[in-house]
């Protein structure tokens, strides 16, 4: 689940029910993006609440034997901000060189203090971009992040390189670049292994697998966009939903990581994949969602009404702007949340 993981939006009881359901269907690991980038130096009550919920989630996972992996941007941090945490986004971030003293002051030491307030986690990931800024620095600077985190994490905590757009200034590349081997991915991987020999790789695109052909470390297939395309509104629940994920042959016999940002809508399909290893490609009806509902019952009633307003049997191009705007308002879709959380609103208005 990508940041923010919704803090007090869910009660711990709801988290417990949801995690129980996932565990019963075979979930092994929960990867969260908790938004540590957006914690400034003022650790106020809002931050305390956020960390309290996260600590409880980790404890619940441990009781259910679900591994927990957390992580963050390699070099993004936020200065003091007047915005609420949930309203901060990548546009508010500042970036620094991982080899600099500023990195220690702004990222590593604050992160160490935060981790000491949390139960022990199973793994820590670092994504190479989005949000990040390589600042024209080579792979040695990106690999330095792994050296830093190894210094503050228990030796048994796994480190993961979440491969994405690459530690590079090449933002607009040739068509199809994600499917090709890239020097910046290969060099970064090799340099990280020098620092962290047991590092694991999460591979979202076929170019990632091709860039790791000569590397024997564990590689996990992460077909981003498969469970929930991004951005996502419920009209993608049709049989002709576009799968924007990639598949390839370089990674065989791998576990699967699936991304999800709206658990209330996507849990049924996740359970289907956990039990069957594939999707049935059937339209997800509100009845199916209701069968696996772990959240507030009033929210389910509101959801049902809003989905009816949206018109599940229509395609995006033919939907009215009014229906789409009503849905966006219902889930608070904005620049930070994108596809949001269920909120207490009067859907009849």
> Cα 268 vs. chain centroid, distance in angstroms?
18
Which residues are paired to 182 by β-bridges? none
CB half-sphere exposure, 333, CA atoms < 13 A: 17
47: pLDDT confidence band, cut at 50, 70 and 90? confident
Among positive and negative, which fits the CA dihedral 4, 283, 312, 303? negative
pLDDT tens, residue by residue, 97-108 = 999 999 999 999
Q: Per the structure block, which two tokens stand in for 94?
A: 């500042």
Task: Give, in degrees to the nearest 5, the angle at Cα 281 between 275 and 287.
Answer: 75
Which residues are paired to 123 by β-bridges? 69, 158
For 299, left (φ over 0), alpha (ψ -120 to 50), or beta? alpha
The whole-number average pLDDT for the span 332-343 is: 49
pLDDT for the residue 349: 45
Cα dihedral value 11, 16, 17, 20, nearest 10? 160
**Closest of 283, 266, 284, 282 to residue 274, by C-alpha:** 266
Which residues are paired to 200 by β-bridges? 160
pLDDT tens, residue by residue, 159-184 = 999 999 999 987 667 788 999 999 99
Q: At 186, give phi and psi (nearest 5°).
A: -60, -50
For the chain, the average pLDDT equals 85
CB half-sphere exposure, 297, CA atoms < 13 A: 0
> How far is residue 100's CA from residue 194's CA, in Å, rounded to a whole number?
20
Name the more confident of 341 and 261. 261
Angle between helices 321-330 and 297-310 (to 10 degrees): 160
Which contacts (CB < 8 Å, 24+ apart) does range 90-96 have? Answer: 90/130, 90/131, 91/335, 92/38, 93/37, 93/38, 93/131, 95/132, 95/133, 95/135
Q: Which of 18-27, 32-41, 222-231, 319-328 has the lowest mean pLDDT?
A: 319-328
Given the DSSP bridges, would you call strands 76-77 and 94-95 parallel, antiparallel or unpaired? antiparallel
pLDDT for the residue 184: 96
Question: Rounded to whole angstroms, what are the CA distances from 299 to 78, 154, 167, 248?
Answer: 33, 40, 41, 39
> Cα 181 vs. chain centroid, distance in angstroms?
24
100 Cβ partners below 8 Å, 6+ apart? none
Would you call 269 exposed, middle or buried from its count of C-beta atoms within 10 A (0-12, 13-18, 19+)? Answer: buried
Confidence check: pLDDT of 191 > 60 = yes
Q: Which domains does the chain have, with CATH numbers?
A: 7-222 (3.20.20.80)
**Closest of 43, 41, 99, 50 to residue 75, by C-alpha:** 99
> How far is residue 269's CA from residue 282's CA, in Å, rounded to a whole number?
10
> How far is residue 184's CA from residue 167's CA, in Å, rounded to a whole number?
7
As a whole-number percent, the residues of the chain with pLDDT over 70 amount to: 83
pLDDT for the residue 320: 63
């Amino acid at each position: 689940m990508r940041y923010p993981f919704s803090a007090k939006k869910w009660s711990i009881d709801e988290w417990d029910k949801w995690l129980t359901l996932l565990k019963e269907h075979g979930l092994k690991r929960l990867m969260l993006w908790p938004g540590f980038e957006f914690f400034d130096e003022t650790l106020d009550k809002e931050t305390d609440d956020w960390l309290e919920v996260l600590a409880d989630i980790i404890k619940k996972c441990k009781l259910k034997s679900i591994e927990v992996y957390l992580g963050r941007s390699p070099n993004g941090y936020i200065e003091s901000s007047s915005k609420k945490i949930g309203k901060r986004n990548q546009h508010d971030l500042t970036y620094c060189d991982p080899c600099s003293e500023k990195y220690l002051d702004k990222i590593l030491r604050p992160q160490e203090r935060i981790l000491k307030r949390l139960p022990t986690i199973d793994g820590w990931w670092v994504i190479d971009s989005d949000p990040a800024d390589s600042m024209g620095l080579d792979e040695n600077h990106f690999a330095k992040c792994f050296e830093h985190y190894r210094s503050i994490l228990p030796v048994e905590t796994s480190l993961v390189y979440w491969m994405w757009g690459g530690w590079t200034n090449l933002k607009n590349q040739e068509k199809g670049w994600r499917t090709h081997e890239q020097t910046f991915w290969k060099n970064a991987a090799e340099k990280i292994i020098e620092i962290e020999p047991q590092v694991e790789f999460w591979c979202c695109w076929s170019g990632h697998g091709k860039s790791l052909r000569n590397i024997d470390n564990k590689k996990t297939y992460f077909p981003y966009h498969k469970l929930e395309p991004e951005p996502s509104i419920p009209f993608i629940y049709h049989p002709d939903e576009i799968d924007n994920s990639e598949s390839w042959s370089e990674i065989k016999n791998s576990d699967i990581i699936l991304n999800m940002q709206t658990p209330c809508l996507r849990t049924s399909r996740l359970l289907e994949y956990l039990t069957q290893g594939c999707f049935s490609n059937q339209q997800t009806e509100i009845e199916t969602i209701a069968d696996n509902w772990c959240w507030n019952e009033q929210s389910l009633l509101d959801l049902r009404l809003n989905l009816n307003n949206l018109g599940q049997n229509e395609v995006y191009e033919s939907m009215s702007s009014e229906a789409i705007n009503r849905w966006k308002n219902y889930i608070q879709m904005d620049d930070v949340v994108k596809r949001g959380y269920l909120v207490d609103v009067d859907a009849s208005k």
